[in-house]
Structure formats: structure tokens, C-alpha cells
């Protein structure tokens, strides 16, 4: 009698059926309901104003009333081309503002990271009064930018300002040769230093959070191997802080490019002109747009600035993509 042979059937792979959008909405209705307010807020606060600004950049929008706004003629890319052929109200000082904003973003972020890192390394140590030091170091971040611009504007005054009085007391200058900080080349430092002073506490907190999750065993092993403090920082601290630094660089550059409050308050609530050495892009756009009612041209420059920042974000993501990934590197 023949013995029946066992047959092994290869199981077919399970293919998950595809479902439409409405099926997923009904299945996850509660989750969608929870995120709906945030999505609605993003549409109202970000998407609609952005779309409106792009639309306005294609209009000859030199208006003072709502009726003129509704009847503004469509002129295509003229607002964009006029910026580069000096036919736009925003052409005046645009090159200076772009140059200043570029160097302002670099200097502010380098200064903020260096001072914030030094402060984070300091308060990451155990010492008496550490809580008081942490609180004092956070004070600049607590102050509103309006107050920072107002106070530092008084401090930079040539005759009665605290900065020159300190320099005179230290013997670095005298009353006759005290520098002007709010006029000329020194204006760049007059807006950069307060920005660094106000921004480093936030960077300090982010870096401190990164330092506190680094295992202490790594430093102990490095010490046993004979590594000094600099070698431990270079090979342990710096690489493990790279994800935090990437976020700091992203926020810092975007915040510096769109900086407005400190400069505007220091030089007259946006109506003043900080000069060729201190004008920034946002200050220029606000001043030239609202003083000259050039809303179409101002929208065009704002859109170009937004495109430039999108390019920066793409470059930033390419550079920091590996450090932001949670997946292990392929060996």
C-alpha cells in the first residue's frame, strides 16, 4: 500500500487591502478630531497669510484704502524684477540689508552657541549656588525683546550710556574719544551684542539638556584611557551634542534672518533708519513697505526671502540629516 506523501504548500503572502481616504478618516475619526484644531490654526495663521502674500506680490499694490486694494491691477513679476533694476521702493538699501543680515546671522549664532555652550558646561557641574547661577543666566531670555532693545539703546549712548562709562572707568577710552555706537560702523555691534545676550540662555538650556543625557561612563572610560578634558570634549561631548546643535543652528539662523524687534525699538519703532551698517531685511521691508505704501513690492521681497530660507532649510537638512536619524549607521 502506497504511503501518502506529505505535501508542503507555500503560504501565500497576505496582501493588505487598500482603503480609501474616507475609510481611514472614519476608522481614525477620534485622532483626526483631536488634531483638527491644530490643522485649522495652521491654515489660518500660516497657509492663508502666505498665499495672500504671494498673491499680493503680483499686484500693483500702492494703496491706502480697502477699495484700492480690491481694485489693484495684476502686474505679474514686475514687483520682483523692479527690485533688481532699482525701480522698486525696496531697492534702496536692499544690498546693505542683505549683507548685514547675512553677517548678523553668522555672528549671532556663533556667539550664542559659544556662550551658551560655556554656560551649559558651567552649570552642568555640581557647585554651591548652582540654582542661583542658573536663574541669573536665564534673566536675559525672560526679558521681552522690546525691553532689550529699549534698555540697550540707552546703554549705547555716546555721552551718558553705560557702555562708554564702563570703557572710561577701565581706562580704555576717555570722554573726548568715546565711540559712537548708534552711528557708523559700530551700529552692527550695537545690534549684534544685545541679540547674543538675549539669545544665549535658550541655547544654554538646550545644550544643558543634551549634556545631561550623555552617560558618565563614557567620560570615565576616556579618563582611564588617558584622555584629557579637550579630547573628551572633542570625541564624546561634541559628537553627542550634534543633534541638539543642529536644531539650535536651524532656529538660530531663521530667527536671525527674521530679526526685527531689537533693531526696530533701538532705532525708533521701525520708523528710524539704523544706517547702512545696521539695517536688516525685516526692518527694511517694514520701513519701506509701510512708509511708502508699497505693499506689492514688500510682499515680493518677503516672498524672495522666504524662498531663500527654504533653500537654507534644504541645505541644513542635507548637512544634518545623518545626525538627526535615529537609525544606526551602516558599517
* Position 328 pLDDT exceeds 50: no
What is the per-residue pLDDT across 140-188, written as a single tens digit (0 to 9) for each? 999 998 899 999 999 999 888 899 999 999 988 888 888 999 888 999 9
The whole-angstrom separation of Cα 46 and Cα 83 is 25
**Cβ–Cβ < 8 Å for 287, 173:** no
Q: What is the pLDDT of residue 195?
A: 95
- 69 and 199 housed in the same domain: no
Tally helices (H) and strands (E) across the chain.
16, 0
Is residue 326 in some structural domain? no
Q: What is the pLDDT of residue 269?
A: 59
**How many independent structural domains does the chain possess?**
2
**Cβ–Cβ < 8 Å for 270, 282:** no
- 142 and 80 housed in the same domain: no
Mean pLDDT taken over the chain: 86
pLDDT interval class at 327 (50, 70, 90)? very low
Q: Give the relative orientation of helices 48-56 and 295-324 as an angle to the nearest 10 degrees.
A: 130
**What secondary structure letter does DSSP report for 117?**
H
Grid cell in block for residue 158: 555716546
- 41 and 127 housed in the same domain: no
Cα 77 to Cα 55, 134, 285, distances in angstroms: 11, 52, 18
Domain that holds residue 149: 94-258
Grid cell in block for residue 131: 540654582
- 62 and 157 housed in the same domain: no
* Position 10 pLDDT exceeds 70: no
Amino acid at each position: 500500500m502506497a504511503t501518502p506523501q506529505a505535501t508542503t504548500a507555500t503560504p501565500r503572502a497576505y496582501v493588505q487591502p487598500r482603503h480609501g481616504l474616507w475609510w481611514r478618516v472614519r476608522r481614525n475619526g477620534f485622532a483626526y478630531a483631536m488634531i483638527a484644531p491644530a490643522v485649522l490654526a495652521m491654515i489660518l495663521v500660516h497657509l492663508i497669510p502666505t498665499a495672500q502674500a504671494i498673491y499680493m506680490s503680483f499686484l500693483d499694490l500702492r494703496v491706502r484704502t480697502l477699495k484700492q486694494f480690491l481694485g489693484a491691477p495684476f502686474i505679474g513679476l514686475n514687483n520682483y524684477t523692479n527690485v533688481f533694476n532699482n525701480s522698486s521702493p525696496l531697492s534702496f538699501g536692499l544690498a546693505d540689508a542683505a549683507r548685514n543680515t547675512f553677517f548678523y546671522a553668522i555672528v549671532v549664532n556663533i556667539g550664542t552657541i559659544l556662550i551658551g555652550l560655556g554656560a551649559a558646561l558651567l552649570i552642568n557641574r555640581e557647585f554651591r549656588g548652582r540654582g542661583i547661577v542658573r536663574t541669573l543666566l536665564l534673566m536675559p531670555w525672560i526679558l521681552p525683546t522690546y525691553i532689550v532693545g529699549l534698555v540697550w539703546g540707552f546703554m549705547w549712548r555716546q555721552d551718558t550710556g553705560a557702555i562708554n562709562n564702563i570703557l572710561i572707568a577701565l581706562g580704555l577710552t576717555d570722554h573726548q574719544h568715546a565711540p559712537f555706537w548708534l552711528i557708523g560702523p559700530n551700529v552692527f555691534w550695537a545690534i549684534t551684542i544685545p541679540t547674543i545676550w538675549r539669545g544665549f540662555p535658550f541655547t544654554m538650556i538646550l545644550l544643558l539638556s543634551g549634556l545631561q543625557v550623555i552617560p558618565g561612563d563614557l567620560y570615565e572610560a576616556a579618563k582611564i584611557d588617558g584622555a584629557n578634558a579637550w579630547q573628551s570634549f572633542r570625541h564624546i561631548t561634541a559628537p553627542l551634542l550634534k543633534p541638539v546643535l543642529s536644531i539650535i543652528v536651524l532656529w538660530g539662523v531663521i530667527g536671525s534672518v527674521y530679526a526685527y524687534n531689537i533693531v526696530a525699538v533701538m532705532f525708533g519703532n521701525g520708523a528710524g533708519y539704523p544706517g547702512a551698517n545696521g539695517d536688516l531685511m525685516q526692518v527694511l521691508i517694514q520701513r519701506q513697505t509701510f512708509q511708502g505704501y508699497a505693499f506689492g513690492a514688500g510682499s515680493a521681497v518677503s516672498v524672495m526671502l522666504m524662498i531663500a530660507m527654504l533653500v537654507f532649510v534644504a541645505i541644513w537638512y542635507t548637512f544634518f540629516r545623518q545626525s538627526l536619524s535615529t537609525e544606526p549607521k551602516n558599517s
